[in-house]
């Protein structure tokens, strides 16, 4: 640091001013002591040179002045130094929020832990890439699904599998266990656990009628050959579970949504494992007007009716492959319509809480999803505008 500080002019036409470092530091600290915070913020933000740590060093011996310095940095939006000050003032929750705001997730995790907020600490560890630490915290907090995802990213497969089991995702647990090396000390325990999981998940062979028909092909007259489907039926389940492949129910519906058109197969499979399949009976309310929806729901079978509040006449019908509740993934606002099952209906549900957590900890995925949302919403706006211009309701 040189002995002079440049104060930028307030406008492009105003000349920059040069002052000695001692004069600037003395003036700033005097202004803070006198409560002239706005004046101090104005001068600090217009300093071309970085004098933040010199201010901290001068103020550290005076607790009240140090608080004013923290306020100066916060008001000037120098969040990293404001966080540093709050940390040394032992205001851990404030420090955590400020470290998070300037993307220092490792420090934010430590500060949230010091403030006793273990969930936010885990989220910050995850966002920083310290997924093993995040996984342990999630597991201790009983959030087994988040723990499983983090253990999987940390390549701790046995821990990931047992966490998926605790979260009720048995097929995913089997998938992870099958990845454990044959020479691993966990392999024998993994084989035993696979058998238990297969029983709990009630895995069974696919219907064998097609397979039987394929085994003894009848004589056919010459003519066009119809390609046989790839999956013709089940075979014997392997004794150990090794080599088992399961088909994900409803994944094709998730894969086909425009909202996830830019999401890679790997990321989409990770999202699928946050989903659950739910049966709803005729007349059951899936989304209620005035309350926020809690999930994106894709119809796998059956039918939903979208109705105005208090009305049974459908405004629109949601058929297999279509979806409702997508805005809950990015917005917590209340729904404006009722969505009711018109008949027994099977839904694939992606809970908003889990989805929003994924977006908070995976910036690249969040960018792709938000970009897709923008396109879908823009298309809807264009359609609404076109209908209004035609005088259509």
pLDDT digit string (tens) for 328-358?
A: 887 778 888 999 999 999 999 998 888 888 8
Predicted pLDDT of residue 357 = 82
Q: What is the pLDDT of residues 211-243, one digit of tens each?
A: 334 344 444 455 566 666 655 555 555 555 555
User: Is the separation of the CB atoms in 48 and 6 below 8 Å?
Assistant: yes
Last residue of a domain, one of 121, 144, 165: 121
Number of domains in the chain: 3
CA pair distance 198, 188, nearest whole angstrom: 16
Q: Quick check: is 232 in a domain?
A: no
Last residue of a domain, one of 73, 97, 121: 121
Q: Does the reported pTM lie above 0.75?
A: no
Q: Within this chain, do residues 86 and 162 fall inside the same structural domain, yes or no?
A: no
Predicted pLDDT of residue 359 = 79
User: Is the separation of the CB atoms in 278 and 301 below 8 Å?
Assistant: no
Q: Average model confidence (pLDDT) for the chain? A: 83
Predicted pLDDT of residue 287 = 92
Q: What is the CATH number of the domain that holds 90?
A: 1.25.40
User: How many other CB atoms are there within 10 angstroms of residue 92's CB atom?
Assistant: 18
Q: What is the CATH number of the domain that holds 331?
A: 2.60.120.10
Q: What is the DSSP letter of 71?
A: H
Q: Within this chain, do residues 273 and 362 fall inside the same structural domain, yes or no?
A: yes
Predicted pLDDT of residue 218 = 47
Q: Within this chain, do residues 283 and 343 fall inside the same structural domain, yes or no?
A: yes
Q: Quick check: is 246 in a domain?
A: no
Predicted pLDDT of residue 356 = 83
Q: Quick check: is 225 in a domain?
A: no
Q: What is the pLDDT of residues 288-299, one digit of tens each?
A: 999 888 898 999
Q: Quick check: is 243 in a domain?
A: no
Q: Within this chain, do residues 168 and 107 fall inside the same structural domain, yes or no?
A: no
Last residue of a domain, one of 94, 121, 148: 121
Q: Quick check: is 207 in a domain?
A: no
Q: Within this chain, do residues 50 and 143 fall inside the same structural domain, yes or no?
A: no
- Least Cα distance to 165 among 205, 118, 199, 129 occurs for 199
As to burial, measured by CB atoms within 10 angstroms (0-12 exposed, 13-18 middle, 19+ buried), residue 13 is exposed
Q: Quick check: is 237 in a domain?
A: no
Q: Quick check: is 259 in a domain?
A: yes
Q: What is the pLDDT along the chain (393 residues), one digit of tens a residue?
A: 456 666 666 666 555 566 788 888 889 999 999 999 999 998 888 888 888 999 999 998 899 999 999 999 999 999 999 999 999 999 999 999 999 999 999 999 999 999 999 999 999 999 999 999 999 999 999 999 999 999 999 999 999 999 999 998 888 888 888 888 888 888 888 888 888 888 776 654 444 343 334 344 444 455 566 666 655 555 555 555 555 566 678 888 888 888 888 788 888 888 888 888 899 999 999 999 998 888 989 999 999 999 998 888 888 899 998 998 888 887 778 888 999 999 999 999 998 888 888 877 777 778 888 888 788 778 877 877 887 777 655
Phi, psi of 298 (to 5 degrees): -105, 130
Q: Within this chain, do residues 48 and 18 fall inside the same structural domain, yes or no?
A: yes
Q: Within this chain, do residues 136 and 113 fall inside the same structural domain, yes or no?
A: no
Predicted pLDDT of residue 5 = 63
Predicted pLDDT of residue 137 = 96
Q: Within this chain, do residues 116 and 35 fall inside the same structural domain, yes or no?
A: yes
Its domain, for residue 90, covers 4-121
Q: Quick check: is 241 in a domain?
A: no
Predicted pLDDT of residue 236 = 53
Strand partners, 316: 306
User: Is the separation of the CB atoms in 262 and 372 below 8 Å?
Assistant: yes
Q: Within this chain, do residues 147 and 255 fall inside the same structural domain, yes or no?
A: no
Q: Within this chain, do residues 100 and 152 fall inside the same structural domain, yes or no?
A: no
The C-alpha R_g of the chain, in whole angstroms, comes to 29
Q: Within this chain, do residues 162 and 195 fall inside the same structural domain, yes or no?
A: yes
**Residue count of the chain:** 393
Q: Within this chain, do residues 184 and 309 fall inside the same structural domain, yes or no?
A: no
Helix or strand or coil: residue 19?
Answer: strand
CA pair distance 297, 166, nearest whole angstrom: 24
């Amino acid at each position: 640091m040189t002995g002079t500080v440049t104060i930028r002019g307030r406008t492009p036409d105003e000349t920059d001013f040069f002052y000695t470092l001692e004069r600037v530091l003395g003036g700033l600290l005097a202004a803070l002591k006198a409560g002239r915070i706005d004046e101090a913020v104005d001068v600090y933000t217009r300093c071309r040179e970085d004098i933040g740590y010199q201010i901290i060093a001068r103020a550290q011996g005076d607790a009240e002045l140090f608080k004013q310095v923290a306020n100066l940095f916060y008001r000037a939006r120098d969040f990293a130094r404001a966080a540093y000050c709050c940390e040394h003032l032992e205001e851990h929750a404030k420090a955590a929020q400020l470290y998070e705001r300037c993307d220092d997730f490792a420090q934010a995790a430590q500060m949230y832990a010091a403030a006793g907020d273990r969930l936010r600490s885990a989220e910050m560890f995850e966002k920083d890439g310290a997924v093993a630490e995040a996984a342990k915290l999630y597991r201790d907090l009983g959030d087994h699904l988040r723990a499983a995802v983090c253990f999987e990213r940390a390549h701790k497969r046995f821990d990931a599998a047992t966490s998926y089991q605790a979260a009720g995702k048995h097929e995913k647990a089997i998938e992870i266990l099958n990845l454990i090396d044959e020479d691993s000390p966990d392999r024998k325990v993994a084989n035993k656990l696979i058998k238990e999981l297969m029983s709990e998940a009630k895995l069974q062979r696919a219907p064998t009628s097609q397979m039987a028909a394929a085994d003894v092909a009848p004589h056919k007259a010459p003519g066009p050959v119809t390609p046989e489907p790839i999956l013709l039926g089940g075979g014997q389940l392997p004794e150990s579970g090794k080599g088992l492949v399961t088909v994900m129910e409803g994944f094709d519906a998730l894969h086909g949504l425009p909202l996830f058109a830019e999401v890679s197969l790997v990321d989409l499979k990770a999202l699928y494992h946050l989903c659950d399949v739910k049966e709803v009976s005729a007349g059951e309310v899936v989304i209620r007007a005035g309350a926020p929806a809690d999930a994106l729901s894709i119809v796998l079978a059956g039918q939903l009716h979208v109705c105005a509040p208090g009305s049974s006449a459908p405004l629109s019908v949601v058929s297999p492959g279509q979806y409702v509740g997508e805005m809950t993934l990015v917005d917590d606002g209340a729904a404006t319509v009722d969505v009711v099952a018109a008949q027994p209906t099977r839904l694939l549900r992606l809970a908003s809480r889990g989805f929003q957590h994924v977006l908070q900890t995976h910036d690249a995925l969040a960018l792709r999803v938000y970009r897709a949302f923008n396109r879908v919403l823009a298309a809807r706006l264009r359609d609404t505008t076109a209908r209004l211009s035609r005088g259509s309701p």
